[in-house]
Homo-oligomer: A and B are copies of this chain.
Amino acid sequence: MKRIVKESIGEQIYSILKEEILLAKRKPGEQINLRKLAEELGASIMPVRDALKQLVDEGLVIRKPRVGFFIRNFTKQEVEEIMEMRKLYELYCLNKYFDKIDRGKLKILLEKSLDEKDINQKTKEFDELDENIHDLLIKVSDNFYLINSYNNIKNLIIILRHLIEDEVSLAREEHTLLIRAILEGNKERAIEILENHIDRVTNAIIKLF
């Protein structure tokens, strides 16, 4: 049975657009045709424009006066800076809070990861796993300012991650290795795996810019 949609039209438009941007289905730099978008969504222009304004506030959409709306783009330097922050935060937390990382949650993540059927597809499940692992590392700090700073760049990290398409099985393997190293209590190995993982992803993304 189909479930009732409780979100307002504006909220639905916002959610749909945000997901398309985060999944890089709409590519960074791409112009948004307001009229066409409203037609595709089956909505009028006004709520679409409101949703876009909200996304401008969040830094995911750029508005150029007298030109229109564009998906946020990145310079090569921005990519490097964002990925440097990611590496800084995640490695710091892994190193500093290694013993506090929730092993129970990690085991569940590992099982889910091994349960995945199509290991070459970038499925919704893969995305969730990916996000959960990296979130787990950050939240263990229990530091409001650190979690907040990470969240400020998290959406940008998600977009960048979706720009590289061919590394799903590799990323999956790296995640599995990382979780296993943590569960085995092998901190040095875990740090090495995470560092290599982030470096590899960073290099793959930077090539696109």
Contact = CB atoms under 8 A, between A and B. Distances in A.
Contact of A144 (B81, B92, B145, B146): B81
B145 A82 contact: yes
Interface of A: 78, 81-82, 84-85, 88, 92, 141, 143-146, 149, 152-153
Contacts of A144: 78, 81
Contacts of A146: 81, 84-85, 88
Nearest to A144: B81
A147 to B, nearest CB: 10
Contacts of A141: 84
B84 A143 contact: yes
A82 B78 CA distance: 25
Q: Closest 6 interchain pairs by CB?
A: A149-B149, A81-B143, A85-B145, A81-B145, A81-B144, A84-B143
Contacts of A85: 143, 145-146, 149
Nearest to A78: B144
A88 B82 contact: no
A78 B146 CA distance: 11
A145 to B, nearest CB: 5
A156 to B, nearest CB: 9
A81 B147 CA distance: 11
Nearest to A89: B88
Contacts of A145: 81-82, 84-85, 152-153
5 contacts: A78-B144, A81-B146, A84-B141, A84-B146, A85-B145
A205 to B, nearest CB: 15
Nearest to A147: B81
Contacts of A88: 88, 92, 146
